[in-house]
Amino acid sequence: MSEHGYFGKALEFLRQNKIKVGDIIRVRTDSDYSGTVMPRYEHTDDEHIVLKLKNGYNVGLEINKISKVEYLLTTQGSQGEHIQPKFDSALLKVLLLSTGGTIASRIDYRTGSVTPALSAQDLNASVPELSEIANIDAEVLFSEYSENLTPEHWVKIAQKLDSLAKSDYKGIIVAHGTDTMQYTASFLSFSLAGYPKPVVLVGSQRSSDRPSSDAALNLISAVRFIVKCDANGIFVAMHNTESDDEVACHLGTRVRKNHTSKRNAFETVGGKPAFIVSQDELVRNLEGSYFKQKEYTPSIKVSTRVALVKYHPGYDPKIIEDMINHGYMAIIFEGTGLGHVGKTMYEAIKKAKQKQIFLGMTSQCIDGRVNMAVYESGRDLLHLGVVPLSDMIPETALVKAMWVCANNDKNIENIMRTNIASEFTE
């Protein structure tokens, strides 16, 4: 019989020592370990117990090597209750909004899969260090993996943030899944341009009860950033390295997820992160001109009649003609090198231009700028009306076009060429 994933010798060890999942204990093996007893996968051995250490890491301890067990206390979390931290008038207020994702997930210890389970309140209570930095309020907007988020979700997040623009919060954290976080960050950057507070999207590559979770440090660092920074706007806060020494705060329009699983998967394209949070130190990498306060002019609409086309040899131009027939307003090309597509595309591009569809060019290269004046093929595309978009990230260009088409469809090209939220680097 299994209990929280423990069975056999491991379950008997817990019962003999009167230990329950959620209790905080100190054990001695070759070293001393103190931490919270965690559940285990149902389909694992019965030779180990798992502790979550104070630094957020999980450690598996072989029960045959445990020479001493000392009971410390029972956590409130194991009883399904959380003690709300007292309000400290000396601290600033920060709001934590949860939308779901790995940072708001736990392991299903029956199957070993990650499932959405944590509320914003759980996130706050599971990282008690937060209450020492700021007064944290928490609210759940929705609970979805980020691959399930749609532009309609972006609008809901933006509308919620807009309603808080004049609140007494120093800043707002949005807990968000990592897979599409850069899209949401881009939309918020454009739709809430000039927002008078720092908004930090925070994710986790590994859920809070997995070994080497990055959830706690990312959250703590995001709150520290909000409390200490003098910059407003939309940021993404994630590990800066594989170790637990730094968290990077990236501009919302210049960040990209460049690795599937590393804790430092997010990187600023074309430069350094805007800020680095290292313990209690906040390092600024960008000049103050990036953060000059603009007039706050929210424009919270989005159009899905925009396509991101990744060109490849053999791409069927009839797909472009289908977009024309379906009433698309803009097409962002992710071209090769300096911004090229093959000649087989020219006729379809000409038809799209005749229908007054905006055509923008970005590059498949991770870094560098589009320059369509270097080669003949690029100049041909310029002549056909394709607009080079400098070093704008393709996903950012897509989201910007979705925003522009919904809010100002009569002047798409001029706005796409205008630097609104640092989407172009200086």
Residue corresponding to tokens 């997930």: 105
* pTM of the model as a whole: 0.81
Judge whether residue 195 has pLDDT over 80.
Answer: yes
Q: What would the two tokens of residue 56 be?
A: 């957020």
* Catalytic residue (choose from 36, 99, 178, 362): 178
Token pair belonging to 236? 């993404």
Domains 82-291 and 306-417 share a fold: yes
Segment 348-377 shows an average pLDDT of 97
CA distances (Å), 375 to each of 5, 378, 382, 394, 400, in order?
62, 5, 11, 21, 27
Q: Which CATH number fits domain 306-417: 3.40.50.40, 3.30.465.10, 3.40.47.10, 3.40.50.450?
A: 3.40.50.40
**8-75: which CATH architecture?**
Roll (2.30)
Residue 359 pLDDT greater than 90, yes or no: yes
Based on the residue annotation, tell me whether 74 is a catalytic residue of this protein.
no
* Catalytic, out of 52, 170, 197, 257: 257
122 pLDDT above the threshold of 70: no
Choosing among 2.70.70.10, 3.40.50.1170, 3.20.20.80, 3.40.1350.10, the CATH entry for 82-291 is 3.40.50.1170
- Residue 119 scores a pLDDT above 70: no
Pairing of strands 58-62, 48-53: antiparallel
| 44 counts as catalytic | no
At residue 190, does pLDDT exceed 90? yes
**For residues 368-377, average pLDDT:** 96
Handedness of CA 161, 162, 164, 165 (dihedral sign): positive
Catalytic residue among 36, 99, 102, 396: 102
Whether 392 has a pLDDT exceeding 70, the answer reads yes
- Known catalytic residue: 257? yes
Cα distance between residue 399 and residue 188, in whole Å: 10
Catalytic residue from among 46, 179, 244, 380: 179
Distance between CA atoms of 224 and 227, rounded to whole angstroms? Answer: 5
Output the CA–CA distances (angstroms, integers) from residue 60 to 52, 64, 322, 355, 417, in the order listed.
Answer: 9, 12, 55, 63, 54
pLDDT (0 to 100) of residue 124: 62
Question: How far from the centroid of its chain's Cα atoms is residue 236's Cα?
Answer: 6
Examine the pLDDT at 36 and tell me if it is beyond 90.
no
Domain residue ranges of the chain, discontinuous segments joined by +: 8-75, 82-291, 306-417
Residue 77, pLDDT score: 42
Active site residue 425: no
Q: Are 265 and 259 in contact (CB under 8 A)?
A: yes
Mean pLDDT across the stretch 8-17? Answer: 92
Mean pLDDT of 173-186: 95
